Amino acid sequence: MAESVSNGSGTHGSNGNGDDSSTRAAMKDFWDGHCTTASLQDVMLDSKAKSLDESEKPEILAMLPALKGMRVLELGAGIGRYTGTLAETAQHVTSVDFVEQFVEKNRQINGVQHPNITFVSGDAMKLDYEENSFDIVFSNWLLMYISDAELEELTKRMLRWVKVGGHVFFRESCFRQSGDRPRDLSNPTKYRDPKHYHHTFETAYCESAASATACGFELDFSRCVRTYLQMKNNPHQMCWSWSKVIVDKKTKSNDDFYGFQSMRQFLDQQQYSVNGILRYEKMFGKNYVSTGGPETTAEFVPMLKLQEGEQVMDVGSGLGGGALYMAENYGVDVLGLDLSTNMVHIALARAVSCSTGSVLYEVSDITKRQFPDESFDVIYSRDTLLHIPNKAEVFKKFFRWLKPGGRILISDYCCGEGEWSDSFKTYVEQRHYTLHSVKHYGQILRDAGFAEVVADDRSRQFCDVLLREVKRASAERSELVKEFSEKDYDDLVTGWKAKVERVNAGDQCWGLFFGRKLSA
């Protein structure tokens, strides 16, 4: 289903909480009625189908895990927009659709060239495969046509069908307001909040009788489809890639993430709730959630000597202020990566109204994310890595991901060299930060392989910025109280003053770091 949700085309409904059998029948009727010619336009439901297809297909395929030698299950294959290309590289593709006419067309188009495709005419909800039958499950616009209960069931099944280390990749149309659209069975589409998919996949769990292991999904990344953002101003087309991993039953039941199901939920529901983010932004400046906002960005970014066309990764990109600044001023391509869906989705909603062709945002965890070696010219990260316990490991990844000559620029919360006060310990524990002294931080960068390392203690600047921010907030007190609340205002100002006290006591520091990967 390709039509934009945001353009108000009016044909889109949702199956709401309708019962599953009537939903399935309506869905089948809908597609049967929509496939008079089984053309691309029928399947994509969009008059711009051809140009969209030409641009988005390579984009989606480039996001897939490596297909070579893999057994792929393709669900809701339609007329086989992806089937043939998948089969070119994969060892085998099982391609499923429940509209007979689509399956036939797919067979005609792809069957002869690709003997490694098995075409299945059947309902995705009625499939049954052995445990570990596939390396990859792929679907494009399928899950939005099943109910929440079915989604949960299918997620569990996919977890069983895929091998450990294998992936589930899917793409859906979403929306971000809460609540369902009116029920309209002529188009039984379920535009979910993307968080619903995150939650369903994060909670899926299965135990293997054969190997006595418990498994779950871990997020590789979720991103919006750039083609739709650029061509249709639509940020609601989203892709997800998940890995099947073995989970430790004990830590799973004890809750590894400070009482939350995942680190993402911890961030989204605690420090980076939507209100928390917008409040922070008031202090830091439009599109920023880090010390000094636009000011320090304009001061630090020139250190990188960015060249047009360079590939930059912004780790913990938040609302995208830094990513946009680099793209707009230097003509670089930026991948903004953040684990908080709240951050990424606010950034995406704002991306619609500005020129962001060269900035791409994704939800992913930098500690889990993988990229090919030598993918980036620059890695940039502002006040983010404080959330990450094992910095040595992450810096080694950064080193590998940089091209020879690549640069790294980080600002981060640090700590003094001495014994921590009790109040500082409590602060750090409450937020689950991991802090090092500026000197130690620089050493971790050198140990990861970086040369020309600069480890600059910017604590004085930190204090000056904080005091300026408090002053500005006080001047804008009435607006802040009106937009948020008295309590929000007080929390912010108290929080900022406490930071200043911690810096003056020598507990808290702020570091600026630069490093280079020398050419071999």
Contacts with ligand SAH, residue ranges (CB under 6 A):
267, 272, 288-290, 316-318, 321-322, 337-340, 343, 365-367, 382-384, 387-388
Buried b (16+ CB within 10 A) or exposed e, 481-507: eeebeeebbeebbeebeebbebbeebb
Smallest distance, ligand SAH to C-beta of residue 424, A = 20
In the bound state with ligand SAH, the residue whose beta carbon lies nearer, of 134 and 272, is 272
E strands, 331-435, are: 333-338, 359-363, 376-382, 402-415
Question: Is 315 in contact with 385 (CB distance < 8 Å)?
Answer: yes
In the bound state with ligand SAH, the residue whose beta carbon lies nearer, of 333 and 383, is 383
In the bound state with ligand SAH, the residue whose beta carbon lies nearer, of 65 and 322, is 322
In the bound state with ligand SAH, the residue whose beta carbon lies nearer, of 2 and 346, is 346
In the block, tokens 């529901």 appear at 269
Strands 333-338 and 311-315: parallel
Give dist(CA 406, CA 425) in Å, integer: 36
φ, ψ for residue 166, nearest 5 deg: -80, 180
- Which residue in the shown chain puts its C-beta closest to ligand SAH? 318
Smallest distance, ligand SAH to C-beta of residue 260, A = 13
Smallest distance, ligand SAH to C-beta of residue 231, A = 28
Smallest distance, ligand SAH to C-beta of residue 403, A = 21
Smallest distance, ligand SAH to C-beta of residue 386, A = 8
Residue 391 is inside which H or E element, if any? Answer: helix 391-401
In the bound state with ligand SAH, the residue whose beta carbon lies nearer, of 208 and 270, is 270
> Which tokens belong to 430?
């409450």
In the bound state with ligand SAH, the residue whose beta carbon lies nearer, of 184 and 193, is 193
Smallest distance, ligand SAH to C-beta of residue 111, A = 43
In the bound state with ligand SAH, the residue whose beta carbon lies nearer, of 63 and 214, is 63
Residue 219 to residues 117, 143, 240, Cα–Cα distance (Å): 28, 17, 8
- 138: nearest Cα among 234, 224, 66: 66
Smallest distance, ligand SAH to C-beta of residue 56, A = 26
Strands 214-224 and 311-315: unpaired
Give dist(CA 243, CA 245) in Å, integer: 6
In the bound state with ligand SAH, the residue whose beta carbon lies nearer, of 13 and 316, is 316
Q: How many CB atoms lie within 10 A of CB 520?
A: 5
Q: How many CB atoms lie within 10 A of CB 426?
A: 11
The three-state secondary structure class of 350 is helix
- 287: nearest Cα among 275, 277, 296: 277
Question: Is 178 in contact with 193 (CB distance < 8 Å)?
Answer: yes
Residue 175 to residues 189, 354, 508, Cα–Cα distance (Å): 12, 19, 41
In the bound state with ligand SAH, the residue whose beta carbon lies nearer, of 27 and 339, is 339
In the bound state with ligand SAH, the residue whose beta carbon lies nearer, of 96 and 289, is 289
Give dist(CA 420, CA 430) in Å, integer: 15
Smallest distance, ligand SAH to C-beta of residue 388, A = 6
Smallest distance, ligand SAH to C-beta of residue 346, A = 10
The three-state secondary structure class of 240 is strand
Give dist(CA 18, CA 21) in Å, integer: 9
Smallest distance, ligand SAH to C-beta of residue 339, A = 4
